[in-house]
Structure 1
Amino acid sequence: MPQPWFDDLSWRGAAAARADLAACRALLRHGSKSFHAASLLLPERVRMPASALYAFCRVADDAVDLTTDRAAGLARTRDRLDRAYAGAPLPHPVDRAFARTVARHSIPRALPEALIEGLAWDAQGRRYETLSDLLGYAARVAGSVGAMMSLLMDARDADAMARACDLGAAMQLTNIARDVGEDAAAGRLYLPLAWLREAGLDPEAWLRAPVASAPLRGVVRRLLDEAGRLYDRGLCGLAALPPDCRPAIAAAGAIYAEIGRHIAAAGYDSVATRAVVTARTKLRLAAGSLTAVAARQRPALADPPLPELRYLVEVATVSRAPMIPARASGVPWWELRARLLWSLEILARRRSDVRGAVT
């Protein structure tokens, strides 16, 4: 039986759309391994558009990060966004799948525009004086993705959206803590400059000779503490999601939080080493996510969104209802368990693809 995402297409159109999505999945299998692993736990109605969304984000990031002419890369990305929202995407699988996703799920254009604004800040080499400034960046490059994922799951109320943005920002802070040495080698510095000065470090001097001194490790630990606070807030939003979506989001949060635990185990030295989460550990965390969700649901959190994330919530919650009617969310746990076991089997077969660093 055709899935709802293809219901309005002819047989030929549905086949072409499936081919586009297969191309998106292939891109993510190698370029966004953590998402690819966690997404196997999503129901197909969410996994398909989520793959299109993440593939577009991956292509946009590469257009800025992997080119010598970042301004041109940004211009091309903005043009691709214009075309997608005009319903005339470029003849590329990712663009076609993304255009269909934003139309079918009523994703406000301001959300992918926020992501592109964050990429523009990367291109400018922008640095961040305070944690609030850094959270403004995290809101754009990761909170926006969390908000879009919430829309794909039809969790559109303000509290659910706020928690999705919290979780996205937590993951971004974890990425920054993990990549301190790698970023420094490329002349990039994302740690709050005020924190470095408070620790007795001159940002420019440290960047010229980056070492994992005790003060620097303290700053990394401080950043991971902030990420932990955001994980706690974000995962309180699981209750607002359809039951069959919760294990995947719990798994994604667990995999990223594990990066922080690896950094801590290395004495918060993310200059000389880069934390990795092995395929075996990902499998264990994915399995544990279902047990945790089934056994104990975190209480819902109705706290307002953080100031740096508020505008994303406001934009997302005024969007109109999706074109696809919401399905009943009462999925039996034994069906979720069967899906998890199937996903773990697929992951095990692909261990060679996901071995190495979490990206």
Structure 2
Amino acid sequence: MPVSPSEPRLSDDRAACAASIRAGSKSFFAAGLLLPAAVRAPAHGLYAFCRLSDDLVDEAGTRTGRIAAVARLERRVARAYAGDPADASADRAFAAVVAAHAIPEALPRALIEGLAWDAHGRRYATLAELHAYAARVAGSVGAMMALVMGVRDPDALARACDLGAAMQLTNIARDVGEDARMGRLYLPLDWLAEAGIDPDAFLADPRPGPALAGVVDRLLAEADRLYARAEPGIARLPARCRPAIRAAALIYAEIGRAVTANGGDSVTRRARVGTARKLALLARAAAPRAAPRGLALPPLPQTAFLIEAVSGYPPRAARRLPSWWDLTGRVVHVLDLIERLREREAFGRTGVAP
């Protein structure tokens, strides 16, 4: 039978999860400034576990090692849902969050499936296939965060998935060179073919150019379409969370504009959003605004399974842990969580955090 952790252990776990935010999450921290301190704890728990998941797969080295790491993660998710999390701060915090907020297991399982696709070196023939990947590694996180904020309405969840997918596409557009140097390629293969780019030749010698810039621009245009679809869902969030979520969207969309300003070169240059610009976007996010229309748009076909999973897992199905395990408040959106699922540790790995 699981042994309930002590109050000091919970405090230590929360501190460890918060430290992972401070260590490499400048954009997340910037958006979180708009929130009261109490709402951050559940986000920290989800962030820490998702970051741990990404790191375990990414640091496994060989393809065989990465696949084995995915299998270990699947077991850790199962243990968290059984109320017997692995002996790690991120696992214990994650178990508390999913229990307290009735997060169906299908959502973190979708995230792990996306990491498995990475482990196998999967490529994506079309934009639709790329959306299926984004739904897993980013849409799932958007849905989990919405649940932690107490939002379970299918239309609002669909918009949260849109935002997660938009941010993932922005990541891909920004990290083309970084990914290529690790042997990874996420740009739709049919778009590359239309642009006259051979995928294997590009991976062997990744270089910027007008043809590649055109493909990146197409991907950013799709991301912008999804940001627009996501906007009406922000109005359905708790009022005190809306500025932070809107800031997350604005800052990430600005990353895409920085890629464009670099001439679409995300091979030799890394798009950044400076501090002054982030502050301006934070102020813009905090300004009152009327709710736009479009909440009831159907979900992307690739994210529909996430919304259906929540519909079949009502709040009363939540397994409650002891009251002191109840992480109070709601949560900021996963701005940097999505980013960290695509980046590597600053200075010690290939990517450099903005």
The alignment's TM-score, normalised by the length of structure 1, stands at 0.84
What are the residue-to-residue correspondences of 1:168-207 with 2, within 5 Å?
168-207=164-203
Which of 29, 40, 61 is the equivalent residue of 1:47? 40
Give CA deviations for 1:133-154 in whole Å, capped at 9, x if unaligned. 0000000000000000010111
Do the aligned residues in 1 keep the contact of 2:39 with 2:329 (CA within 8 Å)? Answer: no
Partner of 1:111: 107
Which piece of structure 1 moves more, 53-62 or 28-37?
28-37
Do the aligned residues in 2 keep the contact of 1:39 with 1:47 (CA within 8 Å)? Answer: yes
Distance 1:166 1:358 in 2: 24
Partner of 2:309: 315
Distance 2:130 2:15 in 1: 35
Partner of 2:134: 138
| 2:247 partner letter | A
What are the residue-to-residue correspondences of 1:154-173 with 2, within 5 Å?
154-173=150-169
Which of 65, 75, 78 is the equivalent residue of 1:79? 75
Do the aligned residues in 2 keep the contact of 1:21 with 1:97 (CA within 8 Å)? Answer: yes
Aligned pair in 2 of structure 1 residues 221, 191: CA closer, same or farther (>3 Å)?
Answer: same
Give CA deviations for 1:218-277 in whole Å, capped at 9, x if unaligned. 000000000000000011211111111101100110111110010010111111101112
Partner of 2:338: none
Distance 1:328 1:262 in 2: 34
Which piece of structure 1 moves more, 30-39 or 69-78?
30-39
The alignment's C-alpha RMSD in Å is: 2.4
Distance 1:111 1:59 in 2: 16
Which of 290, 293, 296 is the equivalent residue of 1:299? 293
Do the aligned residues in 1 keep the contact of 2:162 with 2:226 (CA within 8 Å)? Answer: yes
Do the aligned residues in 2 keep the contact of 1:163 with 1:236 (CA within 8 Å)? Answer: yes
Give CA deviations for 1:96-144 in whole Å, capped at 9, x if unaligned. 1111110000100000000000000000000000000000000000000
**Structure 1 position 16 matched with structure 2 position 12:** no
Do the aligned residues in 2 keep the contact of 1:277 with 1:357 (CA within 8 Å)? Answer: no
Do the aligned residues in 1 keep the contact of 2:67 with 2:120 (CA within 8 Å)? Answer: no
**Structure 1 position 278 matched with structure 2 position 278:** no
| 1:173 partner letter | L
The alignment's TM-score, normalised by the length of structure 2, stands at 0.85
**Structure 1 position 225 matched with structure 2 position 225:** no
Do the aligned residues in 1 keep the contact of 2:76 with 2:91 (CA within 8 Å)? Answer: yes
Deviation at 1:174, TM superposition (A): 0.2
Partner of 2:59: 66
Which of 43, 56, 66 is the equivalent residue of 2:49? 56
Partner of 1:263: 259
Q: Which runs of 5+ in 1 are unaligned?
A: 1-9, 330-353
Do the aligned residues in 2 keep the contact of 1:161 with 1:317 (CA within 8 Å)? Answer: no
Do the aligned residues in 2 keep the contact of 1:170 with 1:227 (CA within 8 Å)? Answer: yes
Specify the SS of the correspondent of 2:315: coil
Partner of 1:245: 241
Partner of 1:33: 26
Which piece of structure 1 moves more, 163-172 or 242-251?
242-251
**Structure 1 position 150 matched with structure 2 position 146:** yes
Q: Which runs of 5+ in 2 are unaligned?
A: 321-325, 331-345
| 2:102 partner letter | S
Higher RCO, Cα 8 Å, sep 6+: 2
Write 1 or 2 for the structure with the bigger share of helix: 1
Distance 2:217 2:224 in 1: 10
| 1:265 partner letter | A
Do the aligned residues in 2 keep the contact of 1:53 with 1:98 (CA within 8 Å)? Answer: yes
Give CA deviations for 1:281-327 in whole Å, capped at 9, x if unaligned. 32222222101xx13332342111011111111112332226699x9
User: Identity, % of aligned pairs?
Assistant: 57
Specify the SS of the correspondent of 1:87: coil
Distance 1:328 1:67 in 2: 35
Specify the SS of the correspondent of 1:295: coil
**Structure 1 position 288 matched with structure 2 position 284:** yes
| 1:157 partner letter | D
Specify the SS of the correspondent of 2:23: helix
Do the aligned residues in 2 keep the contact of 1:28 with 1:36 (CA within 8 Å)? Answer: yes
Distance 1:17 1:328 in 2: 16
Aligned pair in 2 of structure 1 residues 20, 208: CA closer, same or farther (>3 Å)?
Answer: same
Aligned length: 322
Distance 1:21 1:279 in 2: 27
Give CA deviations for 1:154-201 in whole Å, capped at 9, x if unaligned. 110110000000000000000000000111111111000000001111
Which of 62, 83, 88 is the equivalent residue of 2:84? 88
Distance 1:45 1:311 in 2: 31
